[in-house]
Amino acid sequence: MGIRRVLLFLKSLDAYSFHRSNGASPATNPKVLDYLNDRSRVHKDAIEFCKNVLQTKLIDWDATFRSNLSRPIQNVDLVVTLGGDGTLLQASHLLDDSIPILGVNSDPTRPQEVQEFGDEFDATRSTGYLCAATVKNFEQVLSNILEGQRTPSELSRMSVHVNSMPLSTYALNDILVADPCPASVSRFSFRIRKDSQSSSPLVNCRSSGLRVSTAAGSSAAMLSAGGFPMPILSKDLQYMVREPISRDASQLNLMHGTIKPNQSMDIDWYTKDGLIFIDGSHPVHPVQHGDIIQVSSHAPALKIFLPNHLLPSKM
């Protein structure tokens, strides 16, 4: 089936608003202020450019800012996100496995700028790890998709149940289960199950929380914490107990591992309060003492046009 209806899903312009309530900017370095203003200008220009490109195609299209949409996306054939990975992640939460997504990085990092200002402030821009296009090649990438020359890949996502009730959001990158206060200890136990049978011993934890990532998320926070990158199309999950406090040396090697597609992880939460952070700081789901959290890769895949360097090489 050809692509006839496209939704342009936009990063909000206020993401670059860094002014206090009195209108003053917190940036005292004029170079920082110029940098922030330039980021806003670049994003606005990218929006207009992509709209103009869509206008030249024989398709029906509409545009919306991501802050204006919270319901599932339906009745379109393709979603184009314009922003960075955060915008793509937010759009993925509104998609099932029937509509493909294309990420466009509206403001990529400029290495020369980072080198010039690295001793004064952080001049990095958007990473766009999962974005297959930038403004420079958006028209060509879109044309290839519309002409059927590119096909989407399927990325594994993660489902989360709390007390046997499924959460409505599937994680594309990772989840973090932790006490609401980052300085507090989280108490929980977990085990890996296969076909409802235990396939690992019970692991009792006191730590700063538990992170579980998909293959797509294994190169993000999981990698920074000491995990390992996984093949992008893997259906395995990777977990890591954060900063464990352990008196049992025999359990230390159980604090980091993988969950296979035919397995799940059951987490018994023993802290008064807790939060499940999905793909960053939002969405967030509360948990409390006695809740049972189940995590697995039994979730609809996300159809996504990946950047060429992430595509598996063909032998």
**pLDDT of 250:** 76
Share of the chain above pLDDT 70, in %: 94
- Please give the span between the terminal C-alpha atoms of the chain, in angstroms, as a whole number: 29
Question: Do 139 and 193 lie in a common domain?
Answer: no
User: Mean of the pLDDT values across residues 211-218?
Assistant: 98
Q: What is the mean pLDDT of residues 85-108?
A: 97
Pair 179, 262 in one domain? yes
CA 15 to CA 98: how far, in whole Å? 29
For residue 285, what are the domain limits?
159-299
180-193: pLDDT as tens digits: 999 999 999 999 99
Cα–Cα distances in angstroms (integers) from residue 145 to residues 62, 126, 135, 239, 280, in the given order? 18, 24, 16, 35, 30
Residues near 209 by Cβ (< 8 Å), separated by ≥ 6?
Answer: 176, 177, 178, 179, 186, 241, 242
Residues 16, 41: Cα–Cα separation, whole Å: 9
Q: Find tokens 């464990």 and name the residue.
A: 244
Q: Which of 205, 216, 101 is nearest to 158 (CA)?
A: 216
Mean pLDDT, rounded, for 264-276: 97
For residues 183 and 120, state if they share a domain: no
Residue 310 covered by a domain: no
- Taking alpha carbons only, the member of 5, 302, 50, 2 closest to residue 152 is 302
- Report the pLDDT value the prediction gives residue 200, as an integer from 0 to 100: 84
* Domain co-membership, 113 together with 212: no
The count of structural domains within the chain is 2
How far is CA 178 from its chain centroid? 18
Q: What is the rounded distance in angstroms from the CA atom of residue 86 to the CA atom of residue 66?
A: 10
Q: Is 9 within the bounds of a domain?
A: yes
What pLDDT sits at residue 25? 56
Sheet with 256-259, strands from edge to edge, namely 256-259, 237-241, 210-213, 174-178, 273-278, 284-288
pLDDT of residue 168: 95
Kindly report the CA angle at 130 between 223 and 302, in degrees rounded to 5?
Answer: 100
The CATH number for 245's domain is: 2.60.200.30
Q: How far is CA 211 from the centre of its chain?
A: 13
Strands (E), 123-280: 133-134, 153-155, 159-162, 165-166, 174-178, 186-194, 197-198, 203-207, 210-213, 237-241, 256-259, 263-269, 273-278
Q: pLDDT tens across 26-78, in order?
A: 656 888 888 989 999 999 999 999 999 999 999 999 999 999 999 999 999 99
Residues 141 and 272 in one domain: no
pLDDT of residue 22 exceeding 70, the answer is no
- pTM of this structure: 0.92
Q: Quote the CA–CA distance of 217 and 209 in Å, as a whole number.
A: 17
Examine the domain organization and report whether 139 and 87 are in the same domain: yes
Q: Are residues 163 and 147 in the same domain?
A: no
pLDDT of residue 143: 97
Distance CA 140, CA 142 (A): 5
Report which of residues 315 and 210 the model is more confident about: 210
Residue 130 lies in a domain: yes
DSSP 6-60: EEEEE--GGGG----TTS--S--SHHHHHHHHHHHHHHHHHHHHHHHHHHTSSSE
Query: Distances in Å between the alpha carbon of 21 and those of 2, 17, 25, 26?
Result: 48, 11, 9, 11
DSSP state string for 103-147: EEESSB--HHHHHHHTTTS----B--TT--EETTTHHHHHHHHHT
CATH of residue 36: 3.40.50
As a whole number of angstroms, the distance between CA 121 and CA 1 comes to 48
* Position 103 confidence tier, pLDDT thresholds 50, 70, 90: very high
Residue 136 reports pLDDT greater than 80: yes
% the chain with pLDDT above 90 = 84
Phi, psi of 86 (to 5 degrees): -60, -40
| Helix/strand number for the chain, H first, E second | 5, 20
Residues 216 and 240 grouped into a single domain: yes
Tell me the per-residue pLDDT of 231-251, one tens digit each, with 9 for 90 and over: 999 999 999 999 999 767 777
Whether the per-residue pLDDT at 310 is higher than 60: the answer is yes
Q: How far apart are CA 240 and CA 257, in angstroms?
A: 7
- Pair (135, 169) in one structural domain: no
Q: Calculate mean pLDDT across residues 301-307.
A: 98
Same domain? For 13 and 133 the reply is yes
Q: How confident is the model at residue 315, as a pLDDT?
A: 47
Least confident window among 11-20, 110-119, 165-174, 202-211: 11-20
Residue written as tokens 């890949």? 153
138: exposed, middle or buried (Cβ count in 10 Å: 0-12, 13-18, 19+): buried
Instruction: Name which of 36-40, 47-51, 97-101, 268-272 the model is least confident about.
Output: 36-40
Give domain status of residue 308, yes or no. Answer: no
